[in-house]
Structure 1
Amino acid sequence: MARTSGRPARDAAGAARHEGDGGGAGREVAEAVAALRGDGETPEAWVTGLVFNEKAGDEVLRRVFTVDPFPDARYWLAYHPLPPAAAHASVRHPDPRVRRFLAENPRLPADVLAVLAQDTDARVRRVAVMTACEYGIELPVELVVRLATGDDARLRYGATGLAGLPDEVLLSLAEDPDPRVRAVAIGPWSWPRLRPEVREAAAADEDPLVREAVAEATRVEAPLPVTVAEFLAESDPDRRGRAARTAPVDADLAAFLVGHEDRAVRHAAAHNPHVPTALALVLGSDTDPAVRLAVSLRADLTEEQRAAIAPTVPAGRQPVPAWVAERFGDPEAMRELAASGHVVLRRAVTCAPWLPPDVVTRLAADDDFFVRLMLCENDHAPHDLLVEMFISWDGLSSGSLVHRRNFARPGLARFADHADPRLRYAALFDPQAGPELVERLSYDPEALVRRRASGDGRLPLRRLAELLDEPDTARTAARNPSLPVPLMHRMLDLAGAGH
């Protein structure tokens, strides 16, 4: 990254005027501006930190996105949600590669993605359209029509998947000059709506992609097998598997599936609600643990029947059974399932969007670690359990636990001197902790704690300015919401931003 560390710092009087205070606060800001060094790679870290600084105004963000080359854009610009002002500023970056990474971001506001779909660079436009298609992001209808009828065949192809594409435009694309576009425009919905001469031409199209699309659009799905004879006659293994799992099989086929030599067939039969309960229970003693687990999770079993099965339950998450998810809005069903002896059902309950307080209390005291952890991961857990899990769990979700609604609470500051660095980190989430505690923890030997302190808005400016020049805290310090605007601009001067 180009840097201009030789540029003079803004003078102290100017910094004070920007702060609107010619006294102590203004002098403190001016001193911080003058002292900033910007050594090594810290200016790169400042750029990515300022993008996510909630107090960075439009002018700061405009300058951020003049930095070229832009640091590490591939690794964060495509995935992290950007503040709205940053998202709108980002589309003006001069490097099309940066805009292309940005166009991959499904969390962009729709109006920003719409700008990228009209970018001067063809690849940026195509990526933006692909993102809008994949994530169902609605672009303005007039833009969708323009993309679907423009000169770029790849954009026309992509536009067929955009939300809001008028029916008549999609139908017209079945006559597109490009065979890929013609093929994607032909499907079960469009086929019967096409003019007869268009269907005739498509059926005789010289391109195999178009003929394959016609064959798929006109294919009639036969009913799944429901008898033993039909099952044995079915040559498609996918259809046999779906039949075993979901079809309304008759009694003979149900018995055939339960006794099948293939464990995959028995596993599918264990899920099939049309297999009678008494017959399904035969699978409760199956030699395959996955089959036993599947049958133990059937909706039609009593607690006693579940208890008689000895499933092997893996650690961690399992998919929530569909019948449990269907009852998420029923408080009595949640109470009943939270009291189940089957740990997978208790884990499933924790995924409900809302739970009665008594169910939360029961699950928070569950003897299964993953019931308690999943309760925390879904924002139901009480404060004490969140703190306990944050200390004991080191998996993928551990970092998110501190952001659950019940984590931050007065009293966490008592851990500021604890031997466990994770608890010292937790101390910074005490809303009543003062600047002195935050500053003390900014010197912590553990990088996790120092970084958290560097982004804390209660940190005194003098110490914040020091942390901006330390490599392991520069990025998080640049996100600190208490950064004065003159200091932000000096950081951008040193990072080589334009004016």
Structure 2
Amino acid sequence: MSGRTALHAAWILGLAVNEAAPESVARRVFTVNPLPKEGRWLSWSRLTPAAARAAAAHPDPKTRRMLAENPDPAVLTLLADDPETRVRATVVFTAEHHGVELGLDTVRRLAHDPEPRVRHWAGALPGLPDDETLALAEDPDPRVRAAALSAWSWPRLRPEVRAAAEADPDPEIRKAVERATRVEAPLPTTVDAFRVETDERRRRDAAYEAAVDEGLARLLVTHEDAGIRAGAARNPHLPTGLALSLAADADDWVRLSLSLRADLTEEQRAAIDYTAPEGSRPVPDWIKERYGDPDALRELAASSHVLLRRAVAVAPELPDDVVELLAFDEDYFVRLTLCGGKQAPHELLVEMLRSWDGLSKGTLLHRPHFARPGLARFADDPDDWLRHAALFDPERSPELVERLSRDPSRLVRDHAARDPRLPYGRLVELLDEDGEPQAAAFNPALPVELMHGLLDLAGVAPAPS
């Protein structure tokens, strides 16, 4: 790609997602065929309504398929009636995969789509009315019928529909009927039932959750398989005293499992010699059940068990005093976990921005308490991310933005080029190939006349009337 061609592509990419670009600009941008980078960026870009409408009308079905991978409900709704089957199929798959709720009229249309592949996926769409789900069990296409047969739908179907499914020779239908009508046997709860059980998964499940009797409980805590003993250590139906017999187990996983029981006192928990792993771990169900109880959250946040404190740190709502306690926790991962929520305090977010190097580090900048006056003090910090953070200061000056637009870090320069406080003269300079042309074309302070001028220079035709 030549230098000028690359420059023009950068302008088009920036203007395509510029929140201030009017419909006249968006319509011109999305006449470009092929789009820069083959439109792959449409799968994750945040588009304005005008840009979404223009992109949904793009002449290349491959581009519209790429757009259909974007989980924005407005975008998917626009493409639900696309003339290309593959586009509509991608819409349904994206909505189902991401749990996107589309409007009632849209999901009904997709459930009645002329293409079986679309109807097949539509059966799993969030918000699909029950009557539509049941109607799909009578679809002409066997794949669609099979997908509509489940333990939920089977007893709700009319008797003649169930009879037709049972008599259907299609192998997918037979498998679906078997799944829909399968009755899972109760998990073993006695020693005899456990010994004759041949399914290893069911034996593990029994150890973890079955209401076992005293005899099986004693067998589980002495079982040679550490996985079975770890299950027993967590099983809430085991008496606390019997479970505590595993406190000296040779396997660390068993001891860790025991330490996470809900019925232990702090003293009992602290007496167990367990090793807590680093990073995030699945939150025990019994802790999730306490997320709405402020007093329980306070008690758990003060626990000596670091995994309990990490589990509290992911709660969607925390009392202010619990947030403050966790923000100063001695465990790095407790503090980092707290930063994943909306209540993380500003000072902790700044600390993690400096110290953490994870792939989602940039999300810290967009937490509710991050941007605040005073961040400009980091404009000369040796850390690239903290200089970047200086541009989130709501009181940043145009002079500061211009200075950071010349920063040695591409991360900082790119952000400064997008900043609407950037002086106009510097913004125009950055549109050149030696500047940050894509980021500058994204800047919402770019005048509409200049947006059209850039498209003229790139050889983009005027938008059709």
* Residues 42-83 of structure 1, C-alpha deviations (whole Å, 9 max, x = no match): 322222322332212222222222121112356432234433
The alpha carbon displacement at 1:145 in A equals 4.1
Letter in 1 for 2:289: E
Percent identical among aligned pairs is 60
- Where structure 2 has 5 or more consecutive residues not aligned to the other structure, the ranges are none
2:61 is the counterpart of 1:61: no
- Of 47, 50, 65, the match for 1:82: 47
* Residues 298-323 of structure 1, C-alpha deviations (whole Å, 9 max, x = no match): 11111111111122212111122222
Letter in 2 for 1:409: R
* Residues 386-444 of structure 1, C-alpha deviations (whole Å, 9 max, x = no match): 21211111112321112222222222222222333333222222222211111111111
Does 116-125 or 464-473 show the bigger shift? 464-473
- Where structure 1 has 5 or more consecutive residues not aligned to the other structure, the ranges are 4-37
Give the Cα–Cα distance (whole angstroms) in 1 for the partners of residues 263 and 176 of structure 2.
42
Contact 1:377 1:397 in 2 (8 A): no
Give the Cα–Cα distance (whole angstroms) in 1 for the partners of residues 378 and 135 of structure 2.
67
Let me know the Cα RMSD of the aligned residues.
2.3
Q: Per the alignment, do residues 133 and 393 of structure 1 end up closer, same or farther by CA in structure 2, a change over 3 Å counting?
A: closer
**2:9 corresponds to:** 44
- Of 78, 99, 120, the match for 1:115: 78
Give the Cα–Cα distance (whole angstroms) in 1 for the partners of residues 205 and 305 of structure 2.
27
Letter in 2 for 1:159: A
* Residues 119-149 of structure 1, C-alpha deviations (whole Å, 9 max, x = no match): 1111001111222333343444455444434
**2:424 corresponds to:** 461
2:375 is the counterpart of 1:418: no
Q: Please, what TM-score do these two structures have when normalized by structure 1?
A: 0.86
- Of 392, 397, 402, the match for 1:434: 397
2:271 is the counterpart of 1:308: yes
**2:141 corresponds to:** 178
Q: Per the alignment, do residues 170 and 431 of structure 1 end up closer, same or farther by CA in structure 2, a change over 3 Å counting?
A: closer
Secondary structure of the residue aligned to 2:4 is coil
Q: Per the alignment, do residues 90 and 342 of structure 1 end up closer, same or farther by CA in structure 2, a change over 3 Å counting?
A: same
Secondary structure of the residue aligned to 2:349 is helix
Give the Cα–Cα distance (whole angstroms) in 1 for the partners of residues 315 and 434 of structure 2.
42
**1:479 corresponds to:** 442
Q: Map of 1:312-331 to 2, 5 A cutoff?
A: 312-331=275-294
Give the Cα–Cα distance (whole angstroms) in 2 for the partners of residues 304 and 378 of structure 1.
30
- Of 331, 338, 351, the match for 1:368: 331
Give the Cα–Cα distance (whole angstroms) in 1 for the partners of residues 214 and 441 of structure 2.
68
Q: Per the alignment, do residues 472 and 274 of structure 1 end up closer, same or farther by CA in structure 2, a change over 3 Å counting?
A: farther
The alpha carbon displacement at 1:490 in A equals 2.0
Letter in 2 for 1:82: L
Give the Cα–Cα distance (whole angstroms) in 1 for the partners of residues 294 and 161 of structure 2.
55
2:267 is the counterpart of 1:290: no
Does 147-156 or 64-73 show the bigger shift? 147-156
The alpha carbon displacement at 1:97 in A equals 0.8
**1:381 corresponds to:** 344
Give the Cα–Cα distance (whole angstroms) in 1 for the partners of residues 246 and 449 of structure 2.
71
Q: Map of 1:72-471 to 2, 5 A cutoff?
A: 72=37, 75-109=40-74, 112-470=75-433
Letter in 1 for 2:340: E
Number of residue-to-residue matches in the alignment = 462
Contact 2:429 2:435 in 1 (8 A): no
Contact 2:314 2:338 in 1 (8 A): yes
Does 121-130 or 396-405 show the bigger shift? 396-405
* Residues 188-239 of structure 1, C-alpha deviations (whole Å, 9 max, x = no match): 2333344444333322222111111112222222211111111222222222
Contact 2:108 2:132 in 1 (8 A): yes
Q: Please, what TM-score do these two structures have when normalized by structure 2?
A: 0.92
The alpha carbon displacement at 1:168 in A equals 4.5
